[in-house]
Amino acid sequence: MSLYQNMLRKGWNALKKVFTGIFTALFLTMTASPAYAADMQIKVEGVAVAPDVKPEIKNNRMMVPLRVISENLGANVKWSGSKITITKSDMQVILNLKSNAVVKNGKTMQLDVKPYLNNNRILVPLRFIAETFNCSIDFKNSIVSVEPSPFVLNGVKVKALQHEVYFSMGSIVTQINGSTYNEEIYNVFLDNKGSKAVAPSKYTTSIHELTSGAYYKRGQFDFVDKTGKSIQQFDLYTLSHSDGDPDVRLYDATENQWYLFPHSAVQSIYQFMDTASQNGFLTTISDTNP
């Protein structure tokens, strides 16, 4: 073997060691090291969520905390023993810890990796989140982006839900920009709209101008498009100075029609709003109340 050939052979062997080291390091980082996932950030509709437990890599699958992502996709998660139940509108999903079987609306599917606990938090495959909630998933620059389908109302994409509360000398306006929150709140309005009713004999737009037997405007809800134009408006009125659960009236401003409305539905709406606020999806647009 010539000196030149020997030099080439030694150079090629050295290069192979370099590439082997690089590929080995990448493989170990991506498949075996929890630190790789621990540095990742999860965003739902562009809003960063901060779970108690970071994502992990297990059996070459990205494992993410179930509750914080599901709630930001408009779902309710209940956990009892080893059974986890996820509900959203007419969807129900049941899964069990350490079991690959998942039942979605009565149909069984199999997970790539069994759900498990980490620091009292349930972790599931990211793919399961995508398939369950019909979301698109993107991973770039250590950011896992979860994008649900847009909420379309009357053929128009809803940009935000604007909520306004009136006081005697001003108002507070907030907005929710998460499409799943907005869709779930809209469904609460739609599903709980009761019988048609006549307008109350006494009602006011201000929560500070309360008189016995009058209804006050608890909140105005506008589902708005990207220009800020209202697509659908609902107003909630609550009877003042009433015992027990107060009587509620819903005014559909788009239809110009009053309806009966249960107090439990009002509580559901504000629960969604509280969760949206806690997770960074609700922002204050203006506050003119002194």
* 237-289 residue pLDDT tens: 999 866 678 899 999 999 999 999 999 999 999 999 999 998 899 999 999 98
Q: What is the mean pLDDT of residues 107-112?
A: 90
For 254-257, the CB contacts below 8 A with 24+ separation are: 257/196
Q: Which helix (H) or strand (E) holds 287?
A: strand 282-287
- Residue-level pLDDT at 12: 42
Query: Does domain 33-147 bear CATH number 1.10.3720.10?
Result: no
Nearest to 90 by CA among 184, 203, 225: 184
Q: Which residue has the higher pLDDT, 22 or 38?
A: 38
Query: Nearest 5°: phi and psi at 281?
Result: -95, -5
Residues 6+ apart with CB under 8 A from 282: 174, 175, 176, 273, 276
For residue 175, which amino acid is it?
A: Q
Q: What does pTM read for this prediction?
A: 0.77
3-state secondary structure of 63: strand
Q: Could you read off the pLDDT of 174-191 as tens digits, one per residue?
A: 999 989 999 999 999 999
